[in-house]
Structure 1
Amino acid sequence: MVATEYQIEKDLIRKLAELKYAYRPDIRDRESLEANFRQKFEALNRVNLTNAEFARLRDEIITPDVYLAAKKLRETNYFQREDGTPLHYTLVNTKDWCKNDFEVINQLRINTSNSHHRYDVILLINGIPAVQIELKTFEVIPRKAIEQIVHYKNDAGNGYSNSLLCFMQLFIVSNQSNTLYFANNKNEHFSFNADERFLPIYQLADEQNKKITHLHDFANLFLAKCTLGQMISRYMVLVASEQKLLAMRPYQIYAVKKIVDCIHQNRGNGYIWHTTGSGKTLTSFKASTLLKDNPDIEKCLFVVDRKDRGGPGKLDSVLSDILA
C-alpha cells in the first residue's frame, strides 16, 4: 500500500526525533513561532528583552531580502536597547554549530491578508526556520513540490518576506523515494528557466558518488544535527557580487574537506581534476575562505595561467567575495 503524505510526514518526524531533534507540535502559527524564537534568542545571548525591545528586534531582523537575511544569520549583529546600551548578538552559534538548538515543527501556518499557506515540515535552529521540507506521495514527482514552493514565494504577502521564514536557507522536496534539495534565493535566482528546469538543484551522494535518494537515508546523512549545521555554516556560499546563495554539490564538499585536511596534516601537494562547469572555482573559493579563517594559515594565493573562461571579471568577482 502506498504511504499517504500524512504517513510520510509522521515517519519523517519520527526519524528526526531519532536524530535528537526536539519535536514541537505546539508551534503551528506565527505567534508560537515568534515566542519560541524569543526564548531561544534570549538564552543564546544571555539577555532578557522587554516586550517592546523584542518587537523592535523582530521588525529589524525580518527582511524580504534573502541575501541580507542569510548574512544576518551568520554574523554578529548590533541592537540598541531602550536604555541606550548596545547589544551585540548572534542568531546562531557560528563557532560550534553542533551546540545550537535543533527542533522540528510541522503544519505551520503563516496567515497574512493575502495568503494562508501551510508548510509540511520545518527545521528550526535556535528558533529560526532554516530548512523547509515539502513532502508528496510516491505517485507525485518532486517537481510538483518545487512548483508549490515557487508559487508560495511568489504570492503577495507571503511568509518568506514578512516573517521569520525570511531566514530559510534550504528547501528539501521528497516523495520518500526521491529526495532533492536546493538553496533559498531572491526571486531572480529562484525560478524555472526557459527549458522549464529549476536550477540549481541537487541530489545527495556519498564519497563514491552513489546517489542517496530515499528520504530516511537522506535524513541520516544530511539532516544529522552537526552535519546540517556544518552544511549551512561551512558549505553554503554567499556570493556578494550576485547577491545570491549557493549550496555546494556533494563532490565539492568532499573535495574541500580533502584540501583542508591535506593542508592541516601537512601532506604536501595535490590536485583536483574535473570537467568544465563542474564548479572548480567555487570549490577553490570555499577552501580558501575556510583556510583564511585558520590562524595557522598566514597567506592563501590564487595563481592562474590565463584569463578565466567564465568571462571578464569572473575571477575578480570570486576574489572579492573571498575577501568580503
Structure 2
Amino acid sequence: MIFNEDSRVKIPSILHLIQLGYKYLSLKEAQWDENTNIFTSIFKEQLQLINSNLSEKDIQKVYADISISLENEDLGRAFYNKLIDQSGVKLIDFENFDNNSFHVVTELPYNKDDESFRPDIILLVNGMPLVFIEVKKPNNRNGVQDEHRRMQRRFQNKKFRKFVNLTQLMVFSNNMAYSEEDTQMLEGAFYSTTNYKKPIFNYFREEETFDLNKLLQPRTEEDENFVLKDTNLLSIKSNKEYQSNKSPNTATNSISTSLFQRERLKFILRYAFAYVEEENGLEKHIMRYPQLFATKAIENKLENGLKKGIIWHTQGSGKTALAYFNVKHLTHFFQKHNIIPKFYFIVDRLDLLTQAAKEFTARGLVVHKVDSREAFSRDIKSTSVLHNSSGKAEITVVNIQKFKDDPDVIKNNDYNLSVQRVFFLDEVHRSYNPKGSFLANLELADKHSIKIGLTGTPLLGSEYNSKTLFGDYIHKYYYNLSIKDGYTLRLIREEIETNYKLVLQEALENIKVLQGNIDKKKLYADHRFVEPMLDYIVKDMEQARISMGDNSIGGMVVCDSSDQAKMMQEIFDDKYADKSDTLFDQAAEEPASYGNKKKEESKVNKAQVILHDIGTKQDRRDWVSGFKVGKLDFLFVYNMLLTGFDAKRLKKLYIGRKIKSHNLLQTLTRVNRTYKTH
C-alpha cells in the first residue's frame, strides 16, 4: 500500500484534533454557504445560544453584514473587528469559550467561478472556517515550499478574497521536526496568517509543558472508524506507520496542541492579530511565539503580585509590537478586575518617540505624545485615562530626555486605585541612571504603577545593572534563536578592500601635507578624503545588489561628523545623482519587481543626508519614508537613525566613526531585519 499525506499526516491529525475537543463533521451530510463557506445552520444556532433575544431576522441581518464585510479590500479587518467584538452581537463568546462550537472538516472546497482549492483540514468555530491546516508527507523537502507558493497565488487571486478575509490562522506542516540546518523552512510545522501577497511563515517553539492526560480527551474507536470510513481509508487502520503517526508528539499534532487547544485558540483569536498600515499598504501580522509567551509571562507576574520586570528580547524581534499586543491583552486583563489601565511607552530620545508613535499609530492605537516637563507632570497627575473622545485604545509616548533628572516633575502622591498605570520603558540598558531622579519620581508618582523594561542588550556590569533597576527577567529571547527562527539575520562584517585603504591613506597624507596640522573632523570631512570613500561605498553597494540579485536593497552611511555627511551628499549629487528627479517623484515600485531588473539597473543614483539642521521635520519624515519604500538608495547620517529606525530593505551599513558599547549593537542591528531572502 502506498502511503501519502492523507494516511500519514492528515487522518492522524484529525484524530488528534478530535481529542482536543473538535467534533468531526462529514461534508456528505453538511450544508454550507458556498459564497462564504460558513456553515449557516451551525452559525445561526450558535448565535442564538450565545446572544440572548436574537430573532431570526436579526441573525439574517448579522449574516448579511458579515458577507458584505468579507468583500472589502481590507485583509478582513472589518470582519475581524466583528469577530472579537463583545459589546454587541457576539460571533464568538470569549468570556465563556466552551459555549462556542468547534468542528473539524476535511477537503472543504473553496470555490469561485471556475477556480477552486481544498485545504486538507479546516477548523470551524461556530460554523465559521477560521483556521486551516495544509499537510505534506515527511521527507518531501519541496512540499511545504510548493504549498507556500500555491497559497501565495491564491491570496493574490481576487476571486478568493472572501475566503482570505475570513481565514485567521493557518498551519503548514510536513510532519517533521525542525532542522538546525534548514534556513528555508523546508522541514517542520509552521504557522501564519493571511496576506494578499505572500503568507509569512513562523516557527512555533512551545515553552510550556502540558499534561496531555488531562488536556486530551480519550480517543474512541467509534470516532476513528467514522473518520476512516468517511475518507475511504479504513484499510490503513492496522498499519504500524499510521498507528505511530497518531502520537501527540508528531510535529503536526504538537503544533495543533500549541495553537488549537481551546485556551490557546481563545488567546490567539482575541489578542494575537494586528492590522498594520505599512508604507507599501495594509498588512496583517500575527504574534511571534516569543511575543505570545512574553505576554503570558507578564500576565503570570501580575497575577502573582509582581509590578516590575524586564523583557529581554534581541534587537529586531519586535518589542514595540509586543507593547502593542499587551495594550490589547492587559486592557481586558484589568477590566475583569474593574480597573481601567492607562498605558505609557517611555523613550529617551525624540527620534525614538517619533518612531514609536508611528508604529503604534500604524497598528491602530491612538497616540498621545509627551515631550515636555509640564505636559508629563499634568498627565501623570491626571486620573483621566484617555485623551481622545472616540474611546479607542490609547498609549501615551513620553520622551524623558529633557527632564529625566528634574526632581519635581512627576511627584504626585494622589493616585486613583481604579486606574492602573502601565509603563513600558524602552531600551532600559541606557539612560535610566539610578543616581538620577526619573526612576525614583516615577515610583513616587504612583506606587501602584507597573513598570516593564524592554531591552535587547541589558546592562550586566557592576556600575549600572538592569535587573537591579527594573527587577528580574519576565521573559528572554536571545539573538541566536532569533536567527534560527528567521526573525533577524546574522550580521556579517566586511573589511574595506586593500586598494581603497591605500587610496584613503594617500588622500589623508596629501591633505596633511597641504594644510598642515588640521583638525581630524575637518580632515575626514575634506572632499579629497570623502570622494574616494564615497566611490568605494557606491561601488560596493552596486556589487552587493548584483551578488544578491536584488536591486531594491538600500544602504546607510554613518559618517564621522555632520560636516562629512553634508560633504558626502554634495559629492554624491555632483557625481552620481539622477538629475531627472523622476525616481523620487514617482510612486515607489513594488520591491518584488526589483529582482527582475537588468544588471545595469543595480546602479545607485538617489541619496539623502539626514541631519537635524537639514530640511524641516516633515522633510526628514518624507525622506525616511522614501527610503523605506525604495525611493532612495542611500541615507547619509551622523547621529540620527542609529537606533529605533527599522527599514527591512536596509542591508548594507557603512560605519565611518567609532560607536561604543550598547550603541554599537543598536546601530549594527539596523541591518538585521529579514527582507525577502536577505
Give the TM-score, by structure 1 length.
Answer: 0.80
Q: Distance in 2 between matches of 1:298 and 1:106?
A: 43
Q: Distance in 2 between matches of 1:246 and 1:213?
A: 27
User: Taking structure 1 as reference, are residues 298 and 58 closer, same or farther at Cα in structure 2, changes over 3 Å only?
Assistant: closer
Unaligned runs of 5+ in 1: 78-87, 192-197
C-alpha contact (below 8 Å) 2:50/2:99 kept by paired residues: no
| 2:152 aligned partner | 150
Q: Compute the displacement of 1:184 (Å).
A: 1.4
Q: Does 1:257 align with 2:296?
A: yes
The code of the aligned residue for 2:26 comes to: P
Correspondent of 2:360 among 309, 318, 323: 318
User: Taking structure 1 as reference, are residues 94 and 53 closer, same or farther at Cα in structure 2, changes over 3 Å only?
Assistant: same
Q: Distance in 1 between matches of 2:84 and 2:317?
A: 27
| 1:129 aligned partner | 129
Question: Any residues of structure 2 matched to 1:190-269 within 5 Å, and which?
Answer: 190-191=197-198, 199=200, 201-207=201-207, 214-239=251-276, 243-269=282-308
| 2:10 aligned partner | 9
Question: What do the CA deviations read for 1:237-278 (whole angstroms, capped 9, x no partner)?
Answer: 333676432211111111112222223332242112222211
| 2:190 aligned partner | 180
Correspondent of 2:310 among 265, 271, 279: 271
User: Taking structure 1 as reference, are residues 76 and 266 closer, same or farther at Cα in structure 2, changes over 3 Å only?
Assistant: closer
Q: Distance in 1 between matches of 2:328 and 2:39?
A: 34
C-alpha contact (below 8 Å) 1:28/1:107 kept by paired residues: no
Structure with larger RCO (C-alpha < 8 A, sep 6+): 1
Q: Does 1:45 align with 2:51?
A: yes
Counterpart secondary structure, 2:95: coil
Question: What do the CA deviations read for 1:182-208 (whole angstroms, capped 9, x no partner)?
Answer: 1113x1xx32xxxxxx63x21111228
Question: What do the CA deviations read for 1:40-99 (whole angstroms, capped 9, x no partner)?
Answer: 33333242424964763453343343222222211258xxxxxxxxxx412111334343
C-alpha contact (below 8 Å) 1:256/1:287 kept by paired residues: yes
User: Taking structure 1 as reference, are residues 38 and 263 closer, same or farther at Cα in structure 2, changes over 3 Å only?
Assistant: same
Question: Any residues of structure 2 matched to 1:27-176 within 5 Å, and which?
Answer: 27=30, 30-31=33-34, 33-46=39-52, 47-50=54-57, 53=61, 56-64=64-72, 65-66=74-75, 67-76=77-86, 88-138=88-138, 139=140, 140-158=142-160, 161-162=161-162, 166-176=165-175
Q: Distance in 1 between matches of 2:12 and 2:250?
A: 16
The code of the aligned residue for 1:18 comes to: Q
Q: Distance in 1 between matches of 2:86 and 2:326?
A: 22
C-alpha contact (below 8 Å) 2:31/2:41 kept by paired residues: no
Give the TM-score, by structure 2 length.
Answer: 0.40
| 1:302 aligned partner | 345
Question: What do the CA deviations read for 1:219-250 (whole angstroms, capped 9, x no partner)?
Answer: 22222122112112122233367643221111
User: Taking structure 1 as reference, are residues 117 and 240 closer, same or farther at Cα in structure 2, changes over 3 Å only?
Assistant: same
User: Taking structure 1 as reference, are residues 22 and 243 closer, same or farther at Cα in structure 2, changes over 3 Å only?
Assistant: same
Q: Distance in 1 between matches of 2:82 and 2:340?
A: 26
Question: Any residues of structure 2 matched to 1:282-293 within 5 Å, and which?
Answer: 282-293=321-332
C-alpha contact (below 8 Å) 1:45/1:90 kept by paired residues: yes
Moved over 6 A (4+): none
Give the CA RMSD over aligned residues. Answer: 3.0
Q: How many residues align?
A: 298
User: Taking structure 1 as reference, are residues 61 and 288 closer, same or farther at Cα in structure 2, changes over 3 Å only?
Assistant: closer
C-alpha contact (below 8 Å) 1:180/1:202 kept by paired residues: yes
Q: Distance in 1 between matches of 2:143 and 2:272?
A: 27
Q: Distance in 2 between matches of 1:59 and 1:298?
A: 35
Q: Distance in 2 between matches of 1:52 and 1:70?
A: 19
C-alpha contact (below 8 Å) 1:62/1:69 kept by paired residues: yes
User: Taking structure 1 as reference, are residues 225 and 266 closer, same or farther at Cα in structure 2, changes over 3 Å only?
Assistant: closer
User: Taking structure 1 as reference, are residues 271 and 4 closer, same or farther at Cα in structure 2, changes over 3 Å only?
Assistant: same
Q: Distance in 2 between matches of 1:134 and 1:28?
A: 22
User: Taking structure 1 as reference, are residues 162 and 271 closer, same or farther at Cα in structure 2, changes over 3 Å only?
Assistant: closer
Q: Distance in 1 between matches of 2:344 and 2:303?
A: 16
Counterpart secondary structure, 2:345: coil
Q: Percent identity?
A: 22
User: Taking structure 1 as reference, are residues 75 and 54 closer, same or farther at Cα in structure 2, changes over 3 Å only?
Assistant: closer
User: Taking structure 1 as reference, are residues 304 and 23 closer, same or farther at Cα in structure 2, changes over 3 Å only?
Assistant: same
Counterpart secondary structure, 1:119: coil
Q: Distance in 2 between matches of 1:91 and 1:261?
A: 28
Unaligned runs of 5+ in 2: 177-187, 209-248, 367-391, 393-678
User: Taking structure 1 as reference, are residues 24 and 276 closer, same or farther at Cα in structure 2, changes over 3 Å only?
Assistant: same
Q: Distance in 1 between matches of 2:266 and 2:307?
A: 30
Which range moved further: 272-281 or 43-52?
43-52
Q: Compute the displacement of 1:156 (Å).
A: 4.0
User: Taking structure 1 as reference, are residues 38 and 110 closer, same or farther at Cα in structure 2, changes over 3 Å only?
Assistant: farther
Q: Distance in 2 between matches of 1:55 and 1:142?
A: 35
C-alpha contact (below 8 Å) 2:46/2:100 kept by paired residues: no
